[in-house]
A and B are shown apart, each in its own frame.
Chain A
């Protein structure tokens, strides 16, 4: 059931990305080009998404468990630290270079595979690299804590 729900909701998510214009890198770059012929319309995508999603998250917060699942997924990490800011800064640079971010890139992989595959393949490599770093630093943290305690 969860698998079916995930597939159908991703289909809806993808439809939203197409309708909103997020799958058009020229529109995305136009939105990010605040010093040029700025196209502010894509701000309404995030705005509209947050306004619709927030009540659903609030509703979920009142439940002990999800409708179909066993537990709600929490945030991976809770601190505002260098890794959050540095990672987000890096992500923005990658997003600004081609106008593609992960969700739209996967939709475009279905829409125009010949155009999207170099981005998707290297994005997967980047995700794996970042996760390897996260894993290595998570293993290193207890050791660092011991040093500071000593």
Chain B
């Protein structure tokens, strides 16, 4: 179990360092849906584009280093990916945040709104997986 928990904890610590560091240094919240949504709608601030580019660059660097993309990525159909992206995007902007904004930054700031959001999206995500994997027709 430790071989799975260790990387998760280390990766989480790096995410926390980046999110906390961004706030301390620039005063900005590292909520990816908020940053990306603002960038797409051409809100002021070049830092938004830099942040989005940094996330994509991390993936490019990993590919150049030979880290394989997960096999599972090809497991979801084009239609499933499109529908899930649309729902996740709309939900994140309506709910003012996603896993990073509410789950990392919000909880780290002891926001009760974020705690409610995290409990809600964790529950509906688990219910969705349950319905798909064990629900009707399985």
Contact = CB atoms under 8 A, between A and B. Distances in A.
A43 B1 CA distance: 13
How big is the A interface, by class? 35 or more
A16 B13 contact: yes
A102 B17 contact: no
A70 to B, nearest CB: 7
Interface string A21-47: 111111101001111100101111111
Contacts of B104: 46, 49-50, 53
A84 B19 CA distance: 22
A94 B106 CA distance: 20
B121 A98 contact: no
A109 B58 CA distance: 10
B67 interface: yes
Given A48-B9, A68-B26, A126-B86, A18 B67 contact: yes
Of listed B51, B57, B63, B85, residue having the most chain A CB within 10 A: B85
B62 A16 contact: no
B132 A97 contact: yes
Contacts of B57: 7, 10-11, 14, 110
Contacts of A126: 85-93
Central interface residue in B71, B88, B99, B117, by most chain A CB within 10 Å: B88
A68 to B, nearest CB: 5
Contacts of B128: 32, 92-93, 95-97
Interface residues of B, number: 111
Contacts of A77: 96, 113
Contact of A97 (B21, B63, B67, B84): B84
A73 B28 CA distance: 6
A103 B98 contact: yes
Interface in A80-136: 80, 83-103, 105-112, 115-116, 118-131, 133-134
B121 A89 contact: yes
Given A3-B50, A19-B7, A96-B124, 18 more contacts: A3-B47, A5-B21, A6-B47, A8-B54, A9-B54, A10-B55, A18-B67, A27-B70, A48-B10, A49-B104, A52-B17, A55-B20, A60-B24, A86-B95, A88-B118, A94-B88, A112-B73, A127-B40
Across the A-B interface, the 6 shortest Cβ-Cβ residue pairs = A126-B89, A14-B58, A20-B11, A10-B54, A87-B95, A110-B59
